[in-house]
Structure 1
Amino acid sequence: MAIINYSSCFLFLLLSIVLPLFLYRFPEKVEGYRFKEITVNIEHQRKTHHVVSLSSLMPAAVCSTPAQGSKSLSGLLQVYHKYGPCSPLKKGNGKIPSPRQILINDVTRVKSIHTKFSNKDSLGDSTVSLPANTGDSGNYIVQIGVGTSKQDFTVVFDTGSDLTWIQCKPCSQCYPQQDPYFDPSASSTYSIIPCGSNECSQLNSAGYAAQSSCNTNCPYQVIYGDRSYSQGDFATDTLTLSSDVVSNFQFGCGQNNHGLFGSADGLLGLGRSQISIVSQTDQKYGKIFSYCLPSTTSSTGFLAFGSEAGSSSTPQYTSLQTNSNYPNFYFLTMTGISVNGQSLSIPETVFKTSGTIIDSGTVITRLAPTAYSALKSAFQQAMSKYPTAPSDSLLDTCYDLSGYTNVDLPQIVLHFEGGTDLNVDKSGILYQDSSTQSCLAFAGNDADTDKGIVGNMQQKTFEVVYNVAGEKLGFGTGACS
């Protein structure tokens, strides 16, 4: 007959009840190192991943609350996506391009940039500048005033161009725009710049002088990479930025204009040459400006002159480099890329070979093939649980996320000289080509020698501060939604 040890049974029963309760209530007391390890891993994942609602990446049908910025800045302009619901441009004045057409236009712009650096300008014309609107619907617009009394205009702003111009009466050939053409006769402060003047010489040295002979008036001509162009008189007038007034501002008064400008009235040039608004307002703003591009087309950002405007944190700065052969570009020194908190194995020589510029008009960031290959591989590994989708003409790392409400995106950080990090916002990681195709918003150049470009997708929500006088550029987080 079996002998029952009641004390042992009682002890077993007690342990089977109390021990689970103890582990549940005080898990840190048992196998503490494992508990801490799990906690660290979870915290690490939070810091290196973005759990994103896909709906948050899609633009809404109505405009959200405008970006605040600093209301104390008188030169603060609202930034709008050209075709979003916040845009002051009416949608009936032009067809809204598809996401695929935006990419096609972006390729044209980048080819034009690379052509300039390779000294193989396909147009064979020394006056060719960067395309202002070849990345047409990827561009952003602001509203400015010109003349006395002030006439209001909606213009594309572009760090890759120097000359500011608007369409003017009388127009021998002008494309349709929403606002009335600028009427010089209605402005008491309008003046045409004469030939032989120092101002006209600056236009020539900046590469915007017209090929036609200069007799009385100083003519300008700008031809863009998609063969869009603007021609007319180089003139001066009063420029109004919000409540700030700039006297004797030099700009192009265009009577012959054609191309992919949509219904925008012209262009505001934020480049580095002597004729750009940055240089012309040096005494007023000290060659400092900043902007924040909104996370979606249904939000607004800002363009500010003279000060930082709206970052929730102190910007991290990296050095602005210069190249005497291409003085109008903003050069940065990229040093590396991280994905999910892990630095990719990319030699710094790869970034030195290509060099890097930052450009408000390029949509998709371009990397040297060696760097892009490493980024693509790490991104694919992090996204392995999601179904893939066919490649786009430009973007080759795509996924079908139509069956998901939320998606776990890896963190992507671009590293720059001086320890400056650009932790790409969740809105700048995926480019949504269609409801079933979301692609990594980076692309590889044709060769490692092609110039790297930090595009506007990866600049979203940051206050990008251009301290040109101080030769530095900063990224401040949380500047606009």
Structure 2
Amino acid sequence: MASVSTSSCSPFLLLVLCFSLSFQSTHQSHHVISIDSLFPKCSSSKGTKKLIQSPSTVEIHHKHDPCSQPTSSSSEATKSTQQLIQQLLDEDQSRVNKIQSTLSKKKQDPLVIKKATVPVQSGRSLGTGNYVVRVGFGTPKSDLLLVFDTGSDFTWIQCQPCAKSCYDQQDPIFNPSNSKSYTNVTCTSQLCGPKLRSATSATPGCASSTCVYGIQYGDQSFSVGFFGSETITLGQDVFPNFFFGCGQNNQGLFGKSAGLLGLGRNSLSFVSQTAAKYGSVFSYCLPGSSSSTGTLKFGSSPYPPAVKFTPMLSRPDGPSFYFLDLIGISVGGYKLGISGSVFATGGTIIDSGTVITRLPPAAYEALRGAFKKAMAKYPLGKPLSILDTCYDFTGYSTVTIPKIGLFFSPGIEVGVDPSGVLVAASISQVCLAFAANGNPSDVGIYGNKQQVKLDVIYDVGNSKIGFGPGSCS
């Protein structure tokens, strides 16, 4: 078979979530994927299905647009593809470490933020997400690009005058003095206390009678600023008196976004603050390529018959996380013989901000063994960071990979799209996109890489999560 040239690809095109596998089914248990599709060329067309729009729907984009080339002054421009992916996976592991630390009830070190305006105690410290949406802030409205994250509760944006520091963002930085609807929350407000602390895991501060928040994430990104109230607009829906953070000292790996939209279960999350309108229901379809578009929708609607629901669980040690009951895995059409107790020991959360799904060690070993057996005819490649099952596809134009499915209570199977099975650093280093936890008691995480092209429905009020055929590509 002819070898594949990747010389026309830019480094950003090779990022873990920047490829979409073209495929066809040979039979029920396998996919045939094109090696060319691991290294797509930048295209101005989004290549998505026609998306149904509504007042409560906004488009989802990946925060690393493959058509946006780094400038010559950017340090990213000098990094190799492998270095870029290594960085992404390292950041992903930092997020996972902090999630697991939070849920294991271990004592955390005090949060130290250089140049912070107030001392900030240890935060939830989750890493930042990978997908962005546009939300309007203020009167008149300023549309801002925000990372949305089901593993975070607190919404914040960068604000003028950036008293300490603001990172580079795509949109003009929001100026609250130009908005007729912005107000500061005072230090004496009931919100400036346990409620704010529960959303940020940091004790609020006070500056000139204004409440001050602070939050830090797993990759050491952080935001510190004023706690305020503002009118926000989602699609065509307007919400006055929305509580959020107006950041004056912000640093970290947020891409070109203006901040973060917290979709956790806390009382200050976007989901809770808009519950009167949307009934604590939201859904998304994550695109399989960062050059494609997905949707984030709020509010309930008639669900197609193909949608399968699993119970949403609650745990006192992680009330803001979305727990579900993972009970099994299939490879190539066969369910693996993994005891249910393997998954139950640490439990499992679904998280839009974690990239690679993390499994209990025994479950991962079973998955890896079955996958390697199905892929036995392909030569192995070098491991890549946290990914230890890699292949060298040099000389191949197509490869056949087994289908992978995840089983959730009460027995529903959710398939993993072909673009969620592999991660490619180069043609000689293409890896299984799953990883093992370090300890059987660590919480498992259903990551966004394995959620692509699914409609994922969070019905928080009825404590259930649904999965169906995706409305995006």
Per the TM superposition, whether the score is higher than 0.5 is yes
Q: Deviations over 1:291-318 (max 9, x none)?
A: 1111112211111111359x87631110
Number of aligned pairs?
430
Give 1:188's aligned residue: 180
Once residues 386 and 147 of structure 1 are traced to their aligned partners in structure 2, the CA distance between those partners, rounded to angstroms, is 55
Distance 1:67 1:396, change over 3 A: same
Asked if 1:464 is matched to 2:450, the reply is no
Distance 1:45 1:434, change over 3 A: closer
Once residues 195 and 312 of structure 1 are traced to their aligned partners in structure 2, the CA distance between those partners, rounded to angstroms, is 47
Once residues 345 and 401 of structure 1 are traced to their aligned partners in structure 2, the CA distance between those partners, rounded to angstroms, is 30
Query: Counterparts of 1:19-418 in structure 2 under 5 Å?
Result: 46-62=27-43, 63-71=45-53, 73-85=54-66, 91-92=70-71, 95=76, 98-125=84-111, 127-133=122-128, 139-172=130-163, 173-201=165-193, 202-213=195-206, 216-307=209-300, 314-418=306-410
State whether residues 313 and 477 of structure 1, in contact with CA within 8 Å, keep that contact through their aligned partners in structure 2: no
Amino acid at match of 1:406: T
Q: Deviations over 1:41-70 (max 9, x none)?
A: xxx961111122233344440142345332
Q: Deviations over 1:345-387 (max 9, x none)?
A: 1100000001000111111000000000000000000000111
Distance 1:213 1:144, change over 3 A: closer
Q: Deviations over 1:396-449 (max 9, x none)?
A: 111111322221110111000012211101110111122211100000010111
Once residues 74 and 86 of structure 1 are traced to their aligned partners in structure 2, the CA distance between those partners, rounded to angstroms, is 28
Once residues 316 and 219 of structure 2 are traced to their aligned partners in structure 1, the CA distance between those partners, rounded to angstroms, is 26
Once residues 363 and 167 of structure 2 are traced to their aligned partners in structure 1, the CA distance between those partners, rounded to angstroms, is 41
> Cα offset for 1:211?
4.9
Percentage identity across paired residues of the two chains: 47
State whether residues 109 and 122 of structure 2, in contact with CA within 8 Å, keep that contact through their aligned partners in structure 1: no
Once residues 127 and 48 of structure 2 are traced to their aligned partners in structure 1, the CA distance between those partners, rounded to angstroms, is 25
Gaps (5+ residues) in structure 1? Answer: 1-43
SS of match in other structure, 1:432: strand
Name the larger-Rg structure: 1
Amino acid at match of 2:298: F
Once residues 432 and 315 of structure 2 are traced to their aligned partners in structure 1, the CA distance between those partners, rounded to angstroms, is 31
> Cα offset for 1:85?
4.0
State whether residues 290 and 466 of structure 1, in contact with CA within 8 Å, keep that contact through their aligned partners in structure 2: yes
Give 2:16's aligned residue: none
> Cα offset for 1:461?
0.2
Greater fraction helix: 1
Mean CA deviation greater in 194-203 or 104-113: 194-203
Once residues 283 and 314 of structure 1 are traced to their aligned partners in structure 2, the CA distance between those partners, rounded to angstroms, is 28
State whether residues 59 and 297 of structure 1, in contact with CA within 8 Å, keep that contact through their aligned partners in structure 2: no
Q: TM-score, normalised by structure 2?
A: 0.86
Give 1:474's aligned residue: 466
Mean CA deviation greater in 416-425 or 45-54: 45-54
State whether residues 59 and 296 of structure 1, in contact with CA within 8 Å, keep that contact through their aligned partners in structure 2: no
Once residues 197 and 212 of structure 1 are traced to their aligned partners in structure 2, the CA distance between those partners, rounded to angstroms, is 12
Query: What is the aligned-residue RMSD (CA, Å)?
Result: 2.1
Amino acid at match of 2:124: S
Once residues 204 and 294 of structure 1 are traced to their aligned partners in structure 2, the CA distance between those partners, rounded to angstroms, is 34
> Cα offset for 1:204?
2.6
State whether residues 168 and 255 of structure 1, in contact with CA within 8 Å, keep that contact through their aligned partners in structure 2: yes
Once residues 260 and 386 of structure 2 are traced to their aligned partners in structure 1, the CA distance between those partners, rounded to angstroms, is 27
Distance 1:301 1:189, change over 3 A: same
Once residues 228 and 358 of structure 1 are traced to their aligned partners in structure 2, the CA distance between those partners, rounded to angstroms, is 22
State whether residues 347 and 443 of structure 2, in contact with CA within 8 Å, keep that contact through their aligned partners in structure 1: yes
Distance 1:164 1:59, change over 3 A: farther
State whether residues 124 and 216 of structure 2, in contact with CA within 8 Å, keep that contact through their aligned partners in structure 1: yes
State whether residues 128 and 225 of structure 1, in contact with CA within 8 Å, keep that contact through their aligned partners in structure 2: no
State whether residues 285 and 470 of structure 2, in contact with CA within 8 Å, keep that contact through their aligned partners in structure 1: no
Distance 1:214 1:171, change over 3 A: closer
Distance 1:151 1:289, change over 3 A: same
> Cα offset for 1:284?
0.6
Q: TM-score, normalised by structure 1?
A: 0.85
Distance 1:219 1:163, change over 3 A: same
Mean CA deviation greater in 454-463 or 53-62: 53-62
Once residues 49 and 83 of structure 1 are traced to their aligned partners in structure 2, the CA distance between those partners, rounded to angstroms, is 30
Once residues 157 and 230 of structure 1 are traced to their aligned partners in structure 2, the CA distance between those partners, rounded to angstroms, is 15
